[in-house]
Every structure is written in structure tokens, then in C-alpha cells.
Chains A and B, each alone.
Chain A
């Protein structure tokens, strides 16, 4: 009897889930959004002191549609003299108008901007997608509404600041120099402008050079809202323009969202000054799946975590840690699901993954894919067809990745996921926290006490449990460690723009 049992082959662990079948004879018909609902000027000047002013260099540079490589418009290249003009306008507006204005009135201006953004939501979404390459469903359903909501949220804070910090009075800092990235151009502009204005500061903002159009559209909205001249100044340009803002002696605060490298340069540049800074930098978020997680939802969450906005997300879940017992199943389901993602024309309402933002970024992503292969990780990419023009990258996953691999350590900022495995919770915490970054993290499990065990121990500013890549104006966002400091959003997002007075 005992012999017979010993002879029996061990039962293979049966998966209680079936293979997801996405095969269908149905093809999605094209559902393109119309470009005609948006106006893009041939040329944009600098928005300084409430007026459109030509750059003193007289130079303009092109901004293109990364999905077609066609020129959309050309925008002014601001130099140090233009930055100086903008800062002076902001200072003047701060001293003479904005600082003195009753907070209730200040609030109403911000509300007004938010409302006009809502009215122009469709146009803004179209321009965002054309200029940046992100799917229209994301700019329409996420970027634009969240940006307007952010302004709405902070507008209401303007006359309630005395409730925000117990036992302290508050004072604005003065002129805020703000530099935004290309991944969520309009949303990041709103994240920067809304708390700055609500707290009584004035603004000089520079959008990223590849995606300036929606921010310039926002300047038009600000003009339409009759915001006093100089309260918000929007100037375009590349790194040098940004450096001129950072180094301007009359700027009191720097708010920057972008790469960790540039963040460190800024931190060095403002040493020896009294400038305050908020830095929202890179990330390499760990997304952890335990064997008791709802696997199908987790797979969906992983897809959203890494492929949202082509992976151009600082808080993207780019390191996936799967418990060994479910690794095979998760990877199989992930592959199946990736195959069903629609990659292509960002203006098509069915598109899941749009164009890579620029040729430079595409080169970086391809460099990392080559590194991943060289490091010996196993690569899998969706077999989808790619358009012939524009910048594209198939959704890609690497399995058998080692903790020390560069694709597990460095931020790729594209639709590339590195998959690692683990056995115990202590092991995965050790691995997850073994990163210079600490912006976000995710955990998937059905056990409540395990969720809190993980979320408490993960060193990251935003932790998503059984969800990922969720944002809200009321929810503070920002990093630990080299992902930067300061928070944006919520009550905590007010502090970086205020002095607390005893």
C-alpha cells in the first residue's frame, strides 16, 4: 500500500483559473476623434504679463505629433532675458495685486480657470493627444478632467489656509518658478499652478519642450479668465530656459517634475540661496503580487501600472514581484492580456497604447531593451503591428530578471516591465526597498493584515493596494529617497508654497 502511494506521481498543482481567451472574429472599426474640434495656432509667443510677447531671441522651435512626425506648430524659445521679463512681471503682480487681493477673490479666479478648462475639455484632450502621443481615451478621461479638478480643489483652499496648519499663520513665498515634464503636460501644469495661486504666490511656468501646446492653451484660458497680468506667466524653451528660471535671483521657490538627474542639478544650483524646492522625480516602483491575490484583477492592475501612458509615468509599476507559486500563471495571463492591447493611432478612441513621446525617449527605451536582452532576461513583446511613421514601442515584458540587472534598477520610462519572483514577505520587502527610488509601490493580496504589513514597510510616498496608478486632487503625491521631496495634492500640497509663521 505504502509502496503504491510512493509510486504515484505528485499531483501537478491545478490552476483553478482558465486561460483567458481574447480571440474574436470581431475587429474594432476605427473610431477616430476629430482634429477639427481643436484650434492650434501656427505659432505661439511667450505669455508674459498677460500678453503674448515675442521672444527676444526671435527664435522658434517646432513641436511635432509623435504619432505622425508632422509639425503641429512652432513655439517661442525663451532665453534668460525673457525669463527675467517673466519673473519681473510675476514679482510685480505679486507685490501689487495678488498678495493684496482678498483670498476669496483669489479663489474665484482659480475656480473660473477650472470652469473654462471643463468647457474646453474636448479641445484640450485633442491637443494633448496630438502633441504628446497619448491615447485620446486617456487625455479625455484622465488628464484633462483631473487637471480641471485639481484647480477646482485648490481654488477652495485659498480662503481657508488658516485652518490647514494648526497654531500657525501662513504667508506665500513670492514668485514660484515651475518646470513641468512631457508625460502629463496639462495635468502637471495644473498640479503646479493650482496650489501656487491658492496660497497667494505668482508663477513663471515652463512646459517641456516636446509638449508645450496644452500649457499654451491654458495660457489662453488664463487670459480669457481675466487673471490679473503677471500672476501666471508661461514661457517655452528647453533645458537652458529651465536653468535660467532656476538660477534667477528673484525666484523664491522652484517646483520641478522630471528626471532625478535634473532634480539633483537643481538642488545643487539652488544651494547657497534661500529658494525653497519641491522635486518630484523618477521612480522604479515595485508592484507585488502574492499568491492569494485575485489574479485576474492583479494582471489587469499590472497592465494599467506599466502600460498606462506608454509607461511614461514616474510612478509606473515597472518592477513586478510575483510570488513563485503563481509566477507562471501570472506571466501567462499577462502575455495573453498584452496581446489584446490595441497599439496605434492615439486619436482612435479604442487605442490602449499610443506613440512614444519623442525620438529621444524611444532611443532610451530601445537602449534598455537591448540591455535587458544582454543581461540575459527573457523578453516577450506583443506581436501587434506598428504604424510606419512616428515613434512606437510594443508593450514588452522581461521575465527571469535579477535584482541587480539594470532593467530592475534604472528607470526606463516606457512600456517595459521587469518581472522578478520571491518566496516570503520579508524577502520581497528587502527587494522592493532595494532601490534608490521611493515614489510609489503596489501590493496585491486578499489578506487585509498582509496589505498593511506591506504598505507600512514599503518605502514609498504613494502605495496602492489592490489597485494602481490612481490619482486624485485630494490625495498627496510625492516621493521618498531619490524620488524627490515635497508633496503635491491634498492638504499636504499646500505647505511647499507657504511660510509658516509662529
Chain B
């Protein structure tokens, strides 16, 4: 094993410098690495941004991470169309089935752990911290996989009305949720905000961390191989400063989640939400590494309560309740 590593190092050392048209170029005798194109994820597919724009997030040491799609308003609108199209199918699935799919997502993430750790390290995490973040992200998916078919029982009620009616209240998904994900914890934060939204049967459009977008795109690949129907989660990369207002402007979005503590943006979001009375949630003070980063109350943030009444015929008593 040690010998093999040594050999590779030697091969690297022996790379040649060839002069071509006066320019120096480094050619390794080692196989050339295939670099990954980081694209966005809409409707279960990986298009480039329609705008053709890109940006280059850099690591602390100044290394360019990738040419990342600089998503546009149109990309967001396309993503909302996909997300809306996926609502009835996803919310109509058995909660048990959603649970299975979230569990599958955790399995897929576990299988690609090394890649995520590598990307997190590229994005300036230490190895230990990267490992911790990926492990927690996997465990968080498992946590919410378990909640899919349980939170309804906790937050439902059969209401003892005084009249002759059967009356019950249950949570229902609100619909399409736009999410501006945490900028710092680019994987754990992302997973922690997506999981409760889809566990509850919503679909979403997520804007990944601007400066650390690599894991978000790779996570889209995890989703794409987890039997999650296309359109349930759509992931864009780009700049919150540019896209935030569209995330809360759109009339076919039911709720918006914002995870940073920029008071200007928060004010703008709440103001614009008035247009169609979006449900607004701010997760600006949450430590995703602790237990406060997971609970069924996160699921309830994008649920509506529906109350249903039906008369109970009262044969011996005062007649039906029509």
C-alpha cells in the first residue's frame, strides 16, 4: 500500500514540461482527471442555466472551485413550473412511500460519502469537520425519513364539537416552497431545510450556498438516484442577492424559507410575501449541528391545518345534523 502511494508520487514528479508555441504546458504521464461540470437541477434533469452565465467561487487559498451556473429568474420560474407539476404526485403518495424515498436518499448519500467529504475539503473544511458534516447530513435524512408517516398523528386532532358532527383536523402540505439555503453549512444546512419540506409532501426550489455550491449539485445527483420524482426538489446555484426577490415574488409559490440573518432581505421577503400571502419562515439562528436543527416542528412550518366536518346521524336522538 505504502509502496503504491510512493510510486504515484514519483510519476507526478516525472511530469514533463513541454514548450508549445512558446507557452509552457504541464503534461502528466498520469491519466488526466475528468473534471465535473456543476450544473443545476430542474425537473429531474441537469440543464445549464438558460442565461448561459457562470461564476467562479473560490476557496480560501484562492483556488477556483468550478465554473458554476449563475442561475437567472427564468431558471427559477422553470423550476417553479416543475415543482408545481410535482405537487399532486408527491403529496398524493403514501407517507410510507415518502419515508422509503428519504431513506433511500440517505443510502445514496452514504454511498458517495467520500465525494462529499472531498468537496467540503475543497470548500475549506478540515477533514474532520467535513466527515462530521456528511455523517450528520446522512443521519438527518434518516431522521426525517422516520417522521414522514408520524408527524401527522402528533399534530392532528379529532375535535369534540358540541353538535352532532364528526370533526377532525389534519396537516396538509402547503404546496411549492422556495428556499434560500444556509450559506455556511453548505451540505448539512441544505439537507436540513429540504428534508422537512419534502417529508411533509411539499415540493421545493432551493438556492444553494453561493460561495460553497459544490455539495448542492452533487446532492442533486444523490436525489436523482433515490427514486425521488423529478421536480420534487429543484436546486439552483447563483447569488441570493440577485435571486432572493424572485423567490418571494412568484405568485405560484406558497411558502418561502430564508436561512440567513440579513435584516434588509428579511424585510424585503416579508413585504413581498404579502402579494399572495406566502408563508414565511426564517431559520436565521439555528445551529444545524445540534438537536435544535431537527424536529417535527420544522415539518409543520410548511403545513396547513385542514378541518373537516361531517354530520353524525343521531337515530335515537334529535335527528341528523345536516
Chain A residues near B (Cβ < 8 Å): 149, 166-168, 260, 263-265, 267-268, 270-272, 279, 281, 294, 297, 300-301, 436, 451, 455, 460-467, 470, 472, 474-478, 480-482, 484-485, 487, 490-492, 500, 502
Could you say which residues of chain A place their CB within 8 Å of the CB of B269?
271
User: Contacting A472 at CB < 8 Å: which of B163, B291, B297?
Assistant: B163
State in angstroms the CA–CA spacing of A476 and B263 once bound together. 33
* B227: Cβ under 8 A from any A Cβ: no
The residues in B between 223 and 279 inclusive whose CB is less than 8 angstroms from any CB of A are 254, 263, 266-271, 273-277, 279
Query: Considering only CB atoms, which chain B residue lies closest to A452 in the complex?
Result: B308
* B96: Cβ under 8 A from any A Cβ: no
- B166 shortest CB reach to chain A, Å: 9
Could you say which residues of chain A place their CB within 8 Å of the CB of B169?
475-476, 490, 492
Q: Are A470 and B157 in contact (CB under 8 A)?
A: no
- B131 shortest CB reach to chain A, Å: 26
Known: A264-B275, A467-B310, A467-B321. A490 touches B297 (CB 8 A): no
Q: Are B306 and A474 in contact (CB under 8 A)?
A: no
Q: Are B310 and A465 in contact (CB under 8 A)?
A: yes
Q: Are A491 and B157 in contact (CB under 8 A)?
A: yes
Q: Are B159 and A475 in contact (CB under 8 A)?
A: yes
Q: Are A466 and B310 in contact (CB under 8 A)?
A: yes
Query: Considering only CB atoms, which chain A residue lies closest to B300 in the complex?
Result: A495
Q: Are A461 and B306 in contact (CB under 8 A)?
A: yes
- A1 shortest CB reach to chain B, Å: 48
State in angstroms the CA–CA spacing of A263 and B278 once bound together. 12
Q: Are B277 and A264 in contact (CB under 8 A)?
A: yes
Q: Are B270 and A270 in contact (CB under 8 A)?
A: yes
Q: Are A475 and B267 in contact (CB under 8 A)?
A: no
**How many B residues, CB 8 Å from partner?**
39
- A198 shortest CB reach to chain B, Å: 17
State in angstroms the CA–CA spacing of A476 and B171 once bound together. 12
Could you say which residues of chain B place their CB within 8 Å of the CB of A465?
308-310
User: Contacting A279 at CB < 8 Å: which of B154, B254, B277, B309?
Assistant: B277
Could you say which residues of chain B place their CB within 8 Å of the CB of A485?
277, 279
- B202 shortest CB reach to chain A, Å: 13
Q: Are A167 and B295 in contact (CB under 8 A)?
A: yes
* B318: Cβ under 8 A from any A Cβ: no
Could you say which residues of chain A place their CB within 8 Å of the CB of B305?
461, 476, 478, 487, 492
User: Contacting B307 at CB < 8 Å: which of A260, A263, A281, A462?
Assistant: A462
Q: Are B267 and A272 in contact (CB under 8 A)?
A: yes
Q: Are A436 and B276 in contact (CB under 8 A)?
A: yes
Could you say which residues of chain B place their CB within 8 Å of the CB of A462?
306-309
The residues in B between 271 and 322 inclusive whose CB is less than 8 angstroms from any CB of A are 271, 273-277, 279, 291-292, 295, 297, 304-311, 321-322
Q: Are B277 and A490 in contact (CB under 8 A)?
A: no
* B77: Cβ under 8 A from any A Cβ: no
Could you say which residues of chain A place their CB within 8 Å of the CB of B162?
149, 472, 474
Known: A472-B167, A490-B159. A481 touches B310 (CB 8 A): no
- A467 shortest CB reach to chain B, Å: 5
Q: Are A461 and B307 in contact (CB under 8 A)?
A: yes
Could you say which residues of chain B place their CB within 8 Å of the CB of A491?
157
Known: A461-B304, A472-B161, A482-B277. A294 touches B322 (CB 8 A): yes
Could you say which residues of chain A place their CB within 8 Å of the CB of B295?
167, 502
Could you say which residues of chain A place their CB within 8 Å of the CB of B279?
485
- A430 shortest CB reach to chain B, Å: 11
Q: Are A470 and B309 in contact (CB under 8 A)?
A: yes
Q: List 23 A-B contacts (CB under 8 A).
A: A264-B274, A264-B277, A265-B274, A268-B274, A271-B269, A271-B271, A460-B306, A461-B306, A462-B306, A466-B322, A467-B311, A472-B165, A475-B169, A475-B309, A480-B304, A481-B254, A481-B276, A482-B276, A485-B279, A490-B159, A492-B157, A492-B305, A500-B297
Could you say which residues of chain A place their CB within 8 Å of the CB of B154?
166
Q: Are A466 and B311 in contact (CB under 8 A)?
A: yes
- A191 shortest CB reach to chain B, Å: 14
Q: Are B308 and A455 in contact (CB under 8 A)?
A: yes
State in angstroms the CA–CA spacing of A464 and B279 once bound together. 24
* B160: Cβ under 8 A from any A Cβ: yes
